[in-house]
């Protein structure tokens, strides 16, 4: 469910006319809906007990305005770098609602988290335990620790976003978990508080989660028997969203919440969940203008002004995103187009679409790009990433402008010998 809909034949974001907005601010731009973000957060949060920490995964969409919108609802954050930690804090998310994940936290990042007083470190290796203990001693504080265990479960999602199998770099193998917890308990200035598991992203069935969470529940019992005070279970993110109308609907948050309630019944742990995509994906679209319609030998191409530098998912994962015309002319026939960006790579293609006849200057919208869209943008081909706009009812605001070519150029420096 989202708040992008056609009114009188034109696409609106809440009460904002996207044709008028594009004329005003230029294209391409990401457009996020406040109402959709809020709705997704509320639907997700209401599927869990009130003491659950919903730690939105900042990597999905770390725009300060998006984070601030969620912070006002009581949302926490899952961060994976010092940069994300600073963003979450700057957006008003209290440190006590922030968990820090990631395989490669540096000593400086760990210390930043400790000094901020975050809720929990999700530690992914034995060397990281040592580094965290050292950072805690340096800061004169105690670091709350959960160990991310790798449950060796196949999430049955795209290989590039699957994280819970033994061969991936993530977490500590679950068979070695008890040793790792013993080490954590023995190290100065660490306080063991929980268990963490995250098996991947865009997961569209409950079974892989269930397998992983059952393993985590078993481990919690063993760890308690070993004398650890396990009060929290962080079950990660990963619940998928529909990208194609014809795909089976992924389980809804309620079914996910019920499955988790069943598996954690009697465990007496408070839950932490780290949804990213589920909150943000459907709350964002990418509005772009057709530059040229070009007839090839075999195909007709619509070259649009957004490219793989703005939205990498199709090129990187072969991901599909629906595309619609923002203001289709009712009398026009449908034609088949390869919708492509201007970047000099064959993989700079969104896909093949049947769309009402396109002309140069027409607007299109790429859908379900609020998660891992702007967040993964680059300036490849010296194309600065698309602007980002947040809509709220009939109000809109540019929450990240597109950097100008001159600003971008100004980031480079000549070494003294070339000046
Ligand atoms: N927690 C951890 C530890 C994670 O690594 C991730 C995502 C999440 C939570 C949030 O997962 P979500 O609820 O969004 O599925 N760039 C890829 C997705 C990479 C996900 C990485 N980790 C894509 O565009 O599909």
pLDDT value of residue 198: 96
List, chain by chain if needed, residues with CB within 6 Å of any ligand 1 atom.
57, 59-60, 78, 101, 161, 198, 201-202, 236-238, 274-278, 313, 317, 371-372
Asked if residue 14 has pLDDT above 90, the reply is: yes
For atom 6 of ligand 1, the residue with the nearest CA is 237
pLDDT value of residue 164: 79
Q: Which of the four pLDDT bands, split at 50, 70 and 90, describes residue 224?
A: very high
Q: Is 61 helix (H, G, I), strand (E, B) or coil?
A: coil
pTM (two decimals):
0.97
pLDDT value of residue 399: 98
Asked if residue 161 has pLDDT above 80, the reply is: no
Of ligand 1's atoms, which has the minimum distance to the CA of residue 313? 24
For ligand 1, mutation pick of 164, 238, 239, 368 (most atoms within 8 Å of CB) = 238
Of ligand 1's atoms, which has the minimum distance to the CA of residue 281? 14
Q: How far apart are CA 230 and CA 253, in angstroms?
A: 25
Cα distance between the two ends of the chain? 55
pLDDT value of residue 338: 98
Residue located via tokens 């926490």: 76
Q: How far apart are CA 158 and CA 266, in angstroms?
A: 34
% of the chain beyond a pLDDT of 90: 93
Side-chain-side CA neighbours of 242 within 13 Å: the count stands at 11
Rounded to the nearest angstrom, the distance between the alpha carbon of 60 and the centre of ligand 1 is: 7
Of ligand 1's atoms, which has the minimum distance to the CA of residue 163? 5
For ligand 1, mutation pick of 40, 56, 57 (most atoms within 8 Å of CB) = 57
374 vs 202, 290, 306, 314, 389, CA distance in Å?
18, 20, 11, 13, 11
Handedness of CA 124, 206, 272, 376 (dihedral sign): positive
Asked if residue 163 has pLDDT above 90, the reply is: no
Is residue 28 reached through a cis peptide bond, with omega within 30 degrees of 0 on the bond before it?
yes
For atom 20 of ligand 1, the residue with the nearest CA is 201
Of ligand 1's atoms, which has the minimum distance to the CA of residue 202? 15
What's phi and psi for 206, nearest 5 deg? -85, -25
pLDDT tens per residue, range 403-412: 999 999 999 9
Give mean pLDDT, residues 187-212.
97
pLDDT value of residue 160: 81
Which residues fall within 8 angstroms of residue 392, CB to CB, at 6 or more apart? 14, 34, 35
Q: Which of the four pLDDT bands, split at 50, 70 and 90, describes residue 261?
A: very high
Rounded to the nearest angstrom, the distance between the alpha carbon of 202 and the centre of ligand 1 is: 8
Give mean pLDDT, residues 241-252.
92
pLDDT value of residue 104: 97
Rounded to the nearest angstrom, the distance between the alpha carbon of 413 and the centre of ligand 1 is: 34
Asked if residue 62 has pLDDT above 90, the reply is: yes
Of ligand 1's atoms, which has the minimum distance to the CA of residue 278? 13
For ligand 1, mutation pick of 55, 59, 312 (most atoms within 8 Å of CB) = 59
Rounded to the nearest angstrom, the distance between the alpha carbon of 372 and the centre of ligand 1 is: 8
Rounded to the nearest angstrom, the distance between the alpha carbon of 354 and the centre of ligand 1 is: 30
Q: Is 53 helix (H, G, I), strand (E, B) or coil?
A: strand
For ligand 1, mutation pick of 162, 276, 316, 318 (most atoms within 8 Å of CB) = 276
pLDDT value of residue 247: 84
Of ligand 1's atoms, which has the minimum distance to the CA of residue 101? 3
Give mean pLDDT, residues 197-208.
96
Q: Which of the four pLDDT bands, split at 50, 70 and 90, describes residue 159?
A: confident
pLDDT value of residue 26: 98
pLDDT value of residue 254: 98
Q: What residues act catalytically?
A: 344
Asked if residue 17 has pLDDT above 90, the reply is: yes
Give mean pLDDT, residues 37-46.
98
Average pLDDT, the chain: 97
Positions of CATH 3.20.20.10 in the chain: 102-273
Give mean pLDDT, residues 248-273.
96
Q: Which of the four pLDDT bands, split at 50, 70 and 90, describes residue 245?
A: confident
204 vs 158, 236, 274, CA distance in Å?
11, 15, 16
94 vs 74, 110, 206, 232, 402, CA distance in Å?
9, 17, 31, 18, 29
Rounded to the nearest angstrom, the distance between the alpha carbon of 240 and the centre of ligand 1 is: 10
pLDDT value of residue 157: 84
pLDDT tens per residue, range 78-94: 999 999 999 999 999 99
Please report which residue ranges of 12-63 form alpha helices under DSSP H: 18-25, 34-45
Of ligand 1's atoms, which has the minimum distance to the CA of residue 275? 13
Nearest to 208 by CA among 216, 277, 147: 216
CATH class of the 4-31+281-409 domain in this structure: mainly beta
pLDDT value of residue 231: 98
Rounded to the nearest angstrom, the distance between the alpha carbon of 209 and the centre of ligand 1 is: 14
Selecting from 3.20.20.10, 3.40.50.2300, 3.40.50.300, 3.30.40.10, what CATH number does the domain 102-273 have?
A: 3.20.20.10
Give mean pLDDT, residues 147-164.
86
Q: Which of the four pLDDT bands, split at 50, 70 and 90, describes residue 189?
A: very high
Rounded to the nearest angstrom, the distance between the alpha carbon of 201 and the centre of ligand 1 is: 5
């Amino acid at each position: 469910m989202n708040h992008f809909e056609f009114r009188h034949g034109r696409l609106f974001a809440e009460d904002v006319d996207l044709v008028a907005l594009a004329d005003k601010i230029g294209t391409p731009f990401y457009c996020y809906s406040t109402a959709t973000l809020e709705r997704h957060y509320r639907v997700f949060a209401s599927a869990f007990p009130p003491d659950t920490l919903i730690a939105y995964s900042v990597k999905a969409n770390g725009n300060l305005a998006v984070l601030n919108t969620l912070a006002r609802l009581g949302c926490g954050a899952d961060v994976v770098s010092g940069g994300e930690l600073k963003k979450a804090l700057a957006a008003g998310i209290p440190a006590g609602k922030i968990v820090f994940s990631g395989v490669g936290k540096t000593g400086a990042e760990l210390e930043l988290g400790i000094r901020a007083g975050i809720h929990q470190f999700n530690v992914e290796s034995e060397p990281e335990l040592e580094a965290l203990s050292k950072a805690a001693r340096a800061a004169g504080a105690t670091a709350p620790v959960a160990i991310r265990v790798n449950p060796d479960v196949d999430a049955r999602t795209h290989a590039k976003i699957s994280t819970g199998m033994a061969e991936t770099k993530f977490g500590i193998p679950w068979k070695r978990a008890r040793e790792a917890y013993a080490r954590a308990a023995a190290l100065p200035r660490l306080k063991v508080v929980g268990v963490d598991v995250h098996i991947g992203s865009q997961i569209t069935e409950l079974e892989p989660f269930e397998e992983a969470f059952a393993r985590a529940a078993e481990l919690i019992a063993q760890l308690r028997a070993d004398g650890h005070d396990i009060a929290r279970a962080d079950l990660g993110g990963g619940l998928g969203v529909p990208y194609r109308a014809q795909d089976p609907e992924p389980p809804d948050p309620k079914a996910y919440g019920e499955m988790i309630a069943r598996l954690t019944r009697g465990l007496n742990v408070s839950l932490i969940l780290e949804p990213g995509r589920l909150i943000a994906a459907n709350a964002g679209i990418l509005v772009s203008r057709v530059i040229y319609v070009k007839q090839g030998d075999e195909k007709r191409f619509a070259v649009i002004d957004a490219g793989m530098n703005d939205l990498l998912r199709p090129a990187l994962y072969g991901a599909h995103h629906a595309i619609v015309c923002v203001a289709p002319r009712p009398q026009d026939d449908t034609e088949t187009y390869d919708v492509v960006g201007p970047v000099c790579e064959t993989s700079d293609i969104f896909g093949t679409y049947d769309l009402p006849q396109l002309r140069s200057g027409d607007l299109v919208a790429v859908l379900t790009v609020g998660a891992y869209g702007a967040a993964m943008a680059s300036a490849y081909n010296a194309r600065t990433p698309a602007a980002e706009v947040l809509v709220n009812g009939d109000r809109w605001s540019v929450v990240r402008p597109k950097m100008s070519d001159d600003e971008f150029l100004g980031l480079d420096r000549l070494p003294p010998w070339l000046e």
